[in-house]
Amino acid sequence: MGPAAARLRGLARRAARPAVGVSIVLVLGTDLFFLTQRNVTTPVSLNQSVARFRASQATTTTTALVQPTAPTTTVPTASPGRRATTATTAALTGAGSKPGASAPSASGPFTAPAEGVYAYATTGNETVSLGNARHDYPSESFATLRHGPGCRWDFEHRVIEEHVETAHYCGLPDVLQFLSNTQKETFYGQTQSVDFTCDPPETEVRVGDDPGTKRTFACSISDGSHAVETVTYLGRDQLTVDGTAVEAFHVLIEGTESGKVNGTSRLEKWVHPVSGLLVREVVHVVSHSQAFGATVDYQEDASYKLERLDPTT
């Protein structure tokens, strides 16, 4: 070994100690981050939800005042999500479901629910395998409902700040369509947004179906994965909401995902017989995918039950 090589080797030895120290600090810092962040869950209050709703209403009103006319006709693209589809002109205007059909009457299905904030008794949690992170849901969560163009209405369920789903529906005469959904999950400060699109739009309820009626839809996920969903109509069930009997439509939505996302989903839903508003839901989702920079197993088990038929505005 020559003198220069010896000096370089000595420099390497001297540099090694601080490098090891830095590595230890980084590891300890990473461990501390995982320990403090893996179960961060931020409940959302009724007051916060109502404030968001009022702010959105004020923005809509201001926009209308600034632009009192609408010289162009635009068909908006529905936001994608758990199951999502680009809204068609017929879906947004309420036309095209039957020859000569018009918007649904005020007395029959399906009319848009009243705007405002709806409260849901909530149970359950979601987990990811990365660091064994877990979100335990609060005992009550809130969904904000807003009217869109034509027959469309939007249902933003902010279960917690780290789990937000925004779904878009269309109420046609005797048909409730699911148009689109965006689901956002946040773990370790990183938000993962999932879009799910079914084309044609998914029919969740069709009045007149016999119990056991099934419909299957081919769907796509925003990362290039694919899914097949089967909607089964299970009949009418009587539920009680704040002392009022509701004869709800009962459906089961089962999905199988493949590609970059592999997994299954089972959504059991009860919806209001006139508006299509979610009255009760039981959710079970299991998936395996690339997320947050790693291979992650995800599972959600949750249930939601409407507490009051009238929203808070």
Report the pLDDT value the prediction gives residue 32, as an integer from 0 to 100: 59
Residue 267 has pLDDT above 60, yes or no: yes
Q: What is the mean pLDDT of the chain?
A: 79
Question: On the CB side of 197, how many CA atoms lie within 13 Å of its CA?
Answer: 16
CA dihedral 210, 216, 219, 225 (to 10 degrees): 130
Cβ atoms 153, 147 nearer than 8 A: yes
Alpha-carbon span 257 to 214, nearest angstrom:
18
Report the pLDDT value the prediction gives residue 261, as an integer from 0 to 100: 83
**Nearest-5° angle of CA 200, CA 204, CA 207?**
110
pTM of the entire predicted model: 0.76
Segment 191-228, tens digit of pLDDT: 988 888 778 889 999 999 999 999 999 888 888 888 89
SS3 74: coil
Report the pLDDT value the prediction gives residue 61, as an integer from 0 to 100: 58
| Residue of 149, 183, 155 lying closest to 167 (CA atoms) | 155
Task: Name the token pair of 214.
Answer: 């099934």
Segment 55-95, tens digit of pLDDT: 998 876 554 444 444 333 333 323 333 433 333 333 333 33
Report the pLDDT value the prediction gives residue 243, as an integer from 0 to 100: 97
Reduced DSSP (H G I as helix, E B as strand, rest coil) percent helix, strand, coil of the chain, to 5: 20, 45, 30
Cβ atoms 308, 118 nearer than 8 A: yes
Helices (H), the chain: 3-37, 46-66, 89-93
Report the pLDDT value the prediction gives residue 289, as an integer from 0 to 100: 81
Residue 120 has pLDDT above 60, yes or no: yes
Report the pLDDT value the prediction gives residue 93, as an integer from 0 to 100: 32
Report the pLDDT value the prediction gives residue 67, as an integer from 0 to 100: 46
Residue type, 87: A
Residue 13 has pLDDT above 70, yes or no: no
Rounded to an integer, the average pLDDT of 38-42 is 92
Report the pLDDT value the prediction gives residue 74, as an integer from 0 to 100: 30
Residue 11 has pLDDT above 90, yes or no: no
Q: How confident is the model at residue 131 (pLDDT cuts 50, 70, 90)?
A: confident
Alpha-carbon span 76 to 98, nearest angstrom:
22
Residues 6+ apart with CB under 8 A from 98: 173
Secondary structure (DSSP) of 77-140: PPPP-SS--PPPHHHHHT-SSSTT--SPPTTSS--PPPSEEEEEEEEEEEEETGGGEEEEPPSE
Task: Name the token pair of 34.
Answer: 């995982």
Give the 3-state secondary structure of 197-212: EECCCEEEEECCCCCC
